[in-house]
Amino acid sequence: MTDKLLLRALAGETLPIPPIWMMRQAGRYLPEYRATRAEAGDFLSLCYTSDLAAEVTLQPIRRYGFDAAILFADILLIPDALGADLWFVTGEGPRLSTITTEADFAKLKGADDIHDHLAPVYETLRILSRELPAETALIGFAGAPWTVATYMIAGRGTPDQGPAHALKAENRALFETLIDRLTDATIEYLSMQVQAGAETVKLFDSWAGSLKGDEFIRYAVEPAKRIIAELKARHPGLPVIAFPREAGEGYIGFAKTTGADCVAIDNSVSAAWAAANVQVDGCVQGNLDPRHMVTGGDDLVAETRRIVKAFSNGPHIFNLGHGITPDADPANVQMMIDTVREGA
């Protein structure tokens, strides 16, 4: 039995106080992160400079003592490693060369050819596995195929993932070939992360909610199922967290169908609903609204207590319903942690 609380929750244990970490816990709301980011020069350089990426991963652990550290990287490093052009525009986000034709796809590398490019990420994990406190779990991650594909097809983030839906309708064969390549690459990438020291991995399907009906099954559930099955075959006992954000009713049964050990939920569903419908199948992670990290106060404390209570009868990892935002107050993060650990 491990003494790492996060791994115990992922194994299905109901703990008196849930382990806690926070999506984007290494980020722009922290002054120490901003200083290291400035030292790196740009975002991609920070991701690919192992010492600096490890440093920003460790910063929130030193400040707050979270129960887990999540590798500092980005979901778009896979398309970068596959040969897509990737750059970041300050204040606007990522830009990529687009994949909209068979000729575009033909320029991509194979799933087995990504590791040299991603070697600095694996080195970051090796550093973290040495430097993290003994009680702190190390989480690796990747973007899920559908979500990564939406960026590769549009060349940027979009409000409705319209370009990806359009390609799916107009050239289903090309779209599915891209999903398959991303699924294979994700397996390879996460497997290497585990070899480098990750103790659990998380699959972020940030735009899963825009897939409806059978397409949710086909492009969110099935790729996750294949990725998880292959990872568990290669790494027996590996726990996997899946986050099909804004899946709504699709959260129900997601763990059983995909083999995920934990389902992370966003804040568009209530903790009480998720306890009744999702936690019955195992560990749930979530789901405080990130706005409370900005506004703080009594509402933060009350909502944190409500979530902890709602999930208290089963395995639970306390987290936000999405990533912390750059305008968050670091003091509010401490207030959230203190509230959870008071045994609320």
Structure tokens, 191:
């497997």
Structure tokens, 297:
């106060």
Radius of gyration of the chain from its Cα atoms, rounded to whole angstroms? 19
Secondary structure, 3-state, 275-287? HHHCHHHCEEEEE
Structure tokens, 151:
């960026």
Query: Do residues 178 and 105 lie in contact, with contact meaning Cβ atoms separated by under 8 Å?
Result: yes
CA dist., res. 142 & res. 193, Å (int): 10
Q: What angle do CA 14, 277, 337 make, to 5 degrees?
A: 45
Could you give the 3-state DSSP secondary structure of residue 94? Answer: strand
Query: Do residues 328 and 293 lie in contact, with contact meaning Cβ atoms separated by under 8 Å?
Result: yes
**Which sequence positions are flagged as catalytic?**
24, 28, 37, 74, 151
Per-residue DSSP letter, 210? G
Which has the closest alpha carbon to 308: 267, 279, 264, 340?
340
C-alpha distance from residue 142 to each of 60, 147, 159, 230 (Å): 20, 10, 21, 15
- Which residue matches tokens 């397409």? 215
Per-residue DSSP letter, 240? E
Would you say the C-alpha torsion 270, 275, 280, 281 has a positive or negative sign? Answer: positive
Strand boundaries in 19-169, DSSP class E = 68-70, 86-89, 93-96, 137-143
Cβ neighbours around 170 below 10 Å, total: 10
